[in-house]
Copies of this chain bind each other. A is one copy, B any other.
Amino acid sequence: MIIVMRPGAKQSSIDAVIKEIKSNGLDVHLSKGKEVTIIGVVGDKTKLASVNLMSSGDVEKIVEVTESYKLANKKFHPEPSIVPVGNTFIGPGYLTVISGPCAIENEEQMMSTAKGVKEAGATILRGGAYKPRTSPYSFQGLGEEGLKLLRAAGDEYDLPIECEVISRESIETAAKYVDMFQIGARNMQNFYLLKEVGKTNIPVFLKRGLSSTIDEWLNAAEYIMSEGNKNVVLCERGIRTFETATRNTLDIAAVPVLKSKTHLPVLVDPSHASGVREYIPALSKSAIAAGADGLMIEVHIDPSKALSDGPQSLNIPQFKELMKELEDYKKITGRK
């Protein structure tokens, strides 16, 4: 941590900052330039977490030079993590494909979907039982009834399952059925929820918030991990920008950035990122090429009848076609 003082800062202000740092058991390195004085903090800066150095009017800015996340940080855990989910693994060497409908609707839908995506090569089955929707008048999900349908379909076709959770109650219920929890984009900084899933030992699929920085995202993972649950998988799903040709803007660079900052696996969700079916194949390939450990792709047996997110869902034949196209990419990137 570096404290940059304003030009012409009073010596008393500089002394006060130094005193504050030292009183927290840390040391300083002082650098006096012609225009500005800079104070470098030496030692474990988490000791300064609740100290407010900037409120002195003479401090111009504080520059962080180390990240506030530790457990998620590659610096302290250089080996990439592999997260086990049911009968499969997410991480280097694998190409995970999580597939299924946005919302669980009925038994026939889930069974047909599970059959179709299994045949196509998907490794995990997804389905939403608790749907966060912008309007309170949109379909909100089947709840526990949906989880039962999802579990049955997963069992029938030997696929681990995952479902979004939105509250402590839904965590408790879903824990009885699923192999992986999902934290949705709108809840990425619902710190209460992060801590609750952190107290379980079920892997967590953590989607990036619509306007969250990569740094905030890794701090969200840290919330889960600091409660004891180390099985976190990150999912880039597009960020909010001014561009309206796609529903969100897929931040493809997040893949190599994360690979340089964290040991956690990284997936990409081209369905939510684009919101448009015809762009999904191109984005899926680009994600694998960029080094993602897998994909989440929405599939519906009949998108025109989907209760949610129809326009961005592939049907089973389209999904099979895409999976075939991905074979070449799997091969040249060395995945199972």
Please list the residues of chain A having a beta carbon within 8 angstroms of any beta carbon in chain B: 2, 4, 7, 29-36, 38, 40-43, 46, 49-50, 52, 54-56, 60-61, 63, 65-66, 68-69, 75, 132-139, 166-170, 186-187, 189-193, 195, 210-211, 213-216, 219, 222-223, 226, 239-246, 249-257, 259-260, 273-274, 277-279, 282-283, 285-291, 303-308, 310-311, 313, 328-329, 332
If A134-B219, A283-B253 touch, whether A241 touches B239 (CB-CB below 8 Å) is yes
Across-interface contacts of A35 in B (CB, < 8 A):
65-66
CA A219 – CA B245 in complex, angstroms?
14
User: Residue A278 contacts which of B7, B50, B256 (CB distance < 8 angstroms)?
Assistant: B256
Give chain B residues whose Cβ lies under 8 Å from the Cβ of A63: 2, 4, 63
Min CB–CB distance A268 → chain B (angstroms): 10
Given known pairs A240-B242, A249-B239, the reply for A33 and B42 (CB within 8 Å) is: yes
- B-chain residues with CB within 8 Å of residue A310 when the two chains form the complex: 52, 54-55
- Contacting pair A210 B211 (CB below 8 A): yes
* B245 pairs with A214, CB closer than 8 A: yes
Given A244-B213, A250-B253: A33 and B38 interface contact (C-beta under 8 Å): no
Whether A191 contacts B219 in the complex (CB less than 8 A), given A243-B214, A283-B252, A283-B253, comes out as no
Asked if residues B49 and A245 are in contact (CB atoms below 8 Å), the reply is no
Separation in Å of the A4 CB from the closest CB of chain B?
5
